[in-house]
Structure formats: C-alpha cells, structure tokens
Amino acid sequence: ISAVSYFAAEMSNVKAGEKVLILGQGIIGLYATQHFALRGAEVCVADLYDMRLQMAARCGADHVINAQRDDVVTSVLACWPGGADIVVDATASYRVVEQSLPALRPGGRYVFLGYYKAGDFNLGLLHGRVYDAFFPWTLQGRLVVASLKLMEMGALRATELITHRFAVADAPQAYETAAKYPEATAGILLDWR
C-alpha cells in the first residue's frame, strides 16, 4: 500500500519546501503524509477524525485540519494565501475533490490517490483552471522495493499505523470494525499464520 503513496510523491515531482495538502488520513493518506514529508514538503492534512490527525502529526504533518470542525479551503488559504502547490486526494470522494479545488494554486498539481468508483463529478468546476493531474494507482516492483527500504531504514513508519490486528479467519470482523468505527481505525493487519 505504501508504494502507491510513494508513487504519488514521485509522480507529482514534489520539491522541498512545496506546500502539499493531503485529504484523508486513512492508511494510504498516512503513507502519503510520510512520503511527501520525507521529500521536504510542508504538509497540511485534513481528516474527519482526531485520532488520524494525531497519527498524521507524528508522521510529519506540519498542519492538521479537522474537516468536521473547520472548512478545509478556508484553513488552507489562511495558512498559505496563494494556495497549495499540490493537493492529494486520498478519500476517493468526488464531493471532497470538488470542494478542494479552490485550495489549489493556479498551475498547481492535483493527485487523485483514491479508488474512484462510478459517480457524479461536475467537470464544469475544472473550466478555467490550469493544473496538472496525476493518477498513481499502480503497484510497480521498484516502488514496492523503494518503499520497503524506507521502512527498513526506519524513515517510513509502518507498524505504528496499525490500529487493529485480526487472524485471517476473522477478516469479516476486521472489515466490520473498519466500517463501523472509522474514527478509531487506520491500518488493519490480517495475520495469515
């Protein structure tokens, strides 16, 4: 999973000092927070749950926004008046994407890191905007190896992102936990032994 977020940072060609907004701090978003921070970006994250925001802060987020309490775009523009250089969506929500577009600076880069199912997206919102878009959903061997090396070196936090562990026989309970208690879950590990 971390290799996808690794590819997001690589594909968007993030530079040290650039301002990156990451929407969603589930397991993919938490890895994205780390990969962008490791490349020297100033990272702002938004999520609905304080537990995930606390994890993101430990993973390198410079700014956190609870999207249940604060307007994300207003908060981002208060921090970065010109907007974010890069916006990364790890929610897979068309509504979140639509609402986040004003946080992106003109000429910025948008990374679609979620798995987008059939839905309704207002393409008219893109009219008049100039930016690059990236869709890094792929698992390439070199990305997996690079991500695992970062874990081995201790630069990428993996084990502390695990909030629950289940035997593989209890997989239905694991999925139920994730669906019922998103405020208390991030990474769920299925033990295949």
DSSP tag of 92: -
The two tokens of residue 54 are 């606390």
Model pLDDT, residue 150 = 96
pLDDT at 47: 98
pLDDT digits 0-9 by tens, 45-59: 999 999 999 999 999
Q: What pairs with residue 111 in β-bridges?
A: 88, 134
Instruction: Please report the pLDDT score of residue 132 as a whole number.
Output: 87
What amino acid is encoded at 113 in this protein? L
pTM: 0.93
Q: What is the pLDDT of residue 130?
A: 66
> 22 with 90: CB under 8 angstroms?
yes
